[in-house]
Amino acid sequence: MDARTETLEFQAEARELLRLVIHSIYSNKDIFLRELISNASDALDKLRLEALRTPDLHVDASDPHILLEIDKERRTLTVRDNGIGMSRDEVVELIGTIAKSGTAELLQRLRESRDAAASQDLIGQFGVGFYASFMVADKVTLLTRRAGETQATRWESAGEGSYTIESVEDAPQGTSVTLHLKPEDKEDHLFDYADPWKIREIVRRYSDFITWPIRMAAEGQADGDAPAVETVNSMKALWARPRDEVTDAEYHEFYKHISHDWTDPLETVRLQAEGTFEYQALLFIPSHAPLDLFMREHRRGVQLYVKRVFIMDDCEALMPEYLRFVKGVVDAQDLSLNVSREILQHDRQIQLMRRRLVKKVLATVKTMLADHPDRYRTFWTEFGAAVKEGLVNDPDNRDAILDIVSFASTDDPEEVTTLRGYVERMKDGQEHVYYLTGASRSAIENSPHMEAFRAKGHEVLILTDPVDEMWVESVPEFGGKRFQSIAKGQVDLDDEDTAEADREKRREDFAPLLTWLTETLAENVKEVRLSTRLTTSPACIVGDANDITPTLERMYRAAGQDLPPIKRILELNPEHPLVTGLRDAHAARTDGTDLTGLAETAELLYGMALLAEGGELADPPRFTRLLADRLAHTL
**Residue 98 predicted with pLDDT over 70:** no
Q: 273 and 347 in one domain?
A: yes
More confident position, 112 or 554: 554
Task: Say if 559 falls within a structural domain.
Answer: no
**Domain final residue pick, 206, 231, 256:** 231
* Cβ contacts of 454 within 8 Å, gap of 6 or more: 410
Q: 341 and 374 in one domain?
A: yes
Q: How many angstroms separate the CA atoms of 313 and 319, rounded?
A: 12
Q: 473 and 363 in one domain?
A: no
**Is residue 201 annotated as involved in ligand binding?**
no
Task: Say if 513 falls within a structural domain.
Answer: yes
Phi, psi (deg, nearest 5) at residue 148 = 95, -10
**Residue 68 predicted with pLDDT over 90:** yes
Q: 248 and 222 in one domain?
A: no
Q: 172 and 194 in one domain?
A: yes
**Is residue 341 annotated as involved in ligand binding?**
yes
**Is residue 126 annotated as involved in ligand binding?**
yes
What CATH number has the domain bearing residue 515? Answer: 1.20.120.790
pTM for the model: 0.74
Q: 600 and 520 in one domain?
A: yes
CA angle 568, 570, 575 (to 5 degrees): 160
pLDDT digits (tens, 9 = 90+) for 213-255: 999 998 766 555 667 899 999 888 889 888 898 889 889 888 8
User: Is 409 in a helix, a strand, or coil?
Assistant: strand
Q: How many angstroms separate the CA atoms of 387 and 7, rounded?
A: 61
Task: Say if 558 falls within a structural domain.
Answer: no
More confident position, 127 or 419: 419
The overall average pLDDT reported for the chain is: 84
**Residue 100 predicted with pLDDT over 50:** no
User: Is 529 in a helix, a strand, or coil?
Assistant: strand
pLDDT digits (tens, 9 = 90+) for 471-484: 998 898 998 999 99
- What is the number of structural domains in the chain? 4
When pLDDT is cut at 50, 70 and 90, the band that residue 394 belongs to is: very high
User: Is 3 in a helix, a strand, or coil?
Assistant: coil
How far CA 415 is from CA of 267, 287, 408, 412, 506, in Å, comes to: 22, 19, 7, 6, 40
Pairing of strands 229-231, 214-217: antiparallel
Which sign does the torsion angle of CA 400, 255, 296, 206 carry?
negative
What CATH number has the domain bearing residue 147? Answer: 3.30.565.10
Length of the chain: 635
Task: Say if 274 falls within a structural domain.
Answer: yes
Predicted confidence at residue 108, as pLDDT, reads 58
Q: 190 and 255 in one domain?
A: no
**Residue 389 predicted with pLDDT over 60:** yes
**Is residue 39 annotated as involved in ligand binding?**
yes
**Is residue 125 annotated as involved in ligand binding?**
yes
Range of the domain at 469: 405-485
**Domain final residue pick, 231, 266, 288:** 231
Q: 455 and 357 in one domain?
A: no
More confident position, 17 or 237: 237
Task: Say if 2 falls within a structural domain.
Answer: no
Q: 634's torsion region: left (phi>0), alpha (psi -120 to 50) or beta? A: alpha
Predicted confidence at residue 357, as pLDDT, reads 96
Listing DSSP states for 598-622 in one string gives HHHHHHHHHHHHHHHTT---S-HHH
- E-assigned strands of 23-136? 66-71, 76-81
**Is residue 60 annotated as involved in ligand binding?**
no
**Residue 358 predicted with pLDDT over 90:** yes
**Is residue 86 annotated as involved in ligand binding?**
yes
Predicted confidence at residue 305, as pLDDT, reads 86
Q: How many angstroms separate the CA atoms of 45 and 30, rounded?
A: 24
**Is residue 148 annotated as involved in ligand binding?**
no
User: How much of the chain exceeds pLDDT 70, in percent?
Assistant: 86
Listing DSSP states for 148-193 in one string gives T-S-EEEEEE-SSSEEEEEEESS--SEEEEEEEEPPPBGGGTB--T
User: CA-CA-CA-CA torsion for 521, 538, 408, 458, nearest 10 degrees?
Assistant: -120
Task: Say if 237 falls within a structural domain.
Answer: no
**Is residue 129 annotated as involved in ligand binding?**
yes
When pLDDT is cut at 50, 70 and 90, the band that residue 5 belongs to is: confident
Q: 447 and 506 in one domain?
A: no
Asked if residue 85 lies in contact with residue 188, where contact means CB atoms within 8 angstroms, the answer is: no
Average the pLDDT over 128-133 and give the result: 74
**Residue 3 predicted with pLDDT over 60:** no
Residue 282: other Cβ atoms inside 10 A: 26
**Residue 123 predicted with pLDDT over 50:** no
Task: Say if 3 falls within a structural domain.
Answer: no
Predicted confidence at residue 516, as pLDDT, reads 93
Q: How many angstroms separate the CA atoms of 226 and 621, rounded?
A: 89
Q: 275 and 215 in one domain?
A: no
CA angle 321, 327, 328 (to 5 degrees): 125
What CATH number has the domain bearing residue 348? Answer: 3.30.230.80
**Domain final residue pick, 350, 384, 418:** 384
Average the pLDDT over 564-579 and give the result: 90
Q: How many angstroms separate the CA atoms of 174 and 145, rounded?
A: 5
Task: Say if 375 falls within a structural domain.
Answer: yes
Q: How many angstroms separate the CA atoms of 583 and 206, rounded?
A: 78
Q: How many angstroms separate the CA atoms of 547 and 487, rounded?
A: 10
**Is residue 128 annotated as involved in ligand binding?**
yes
Range of lowest pLDDT (230-239, 488-497, 540-549): 488-497
Average the pLDDT over 44-60 and give the result: 80
What CATH number has the domain bearing residue 432? Answer: 3.40.50.11260
When pLDDT is cut at 50, 70 and 90, the band that residue 499 belongs to is: low
**Is residue 100 annotated as involved in ligand binding?**
yes
Q: 313 and 346 in one domain?
A: yes
Q: 161 and 48 in one domain?
A: yes
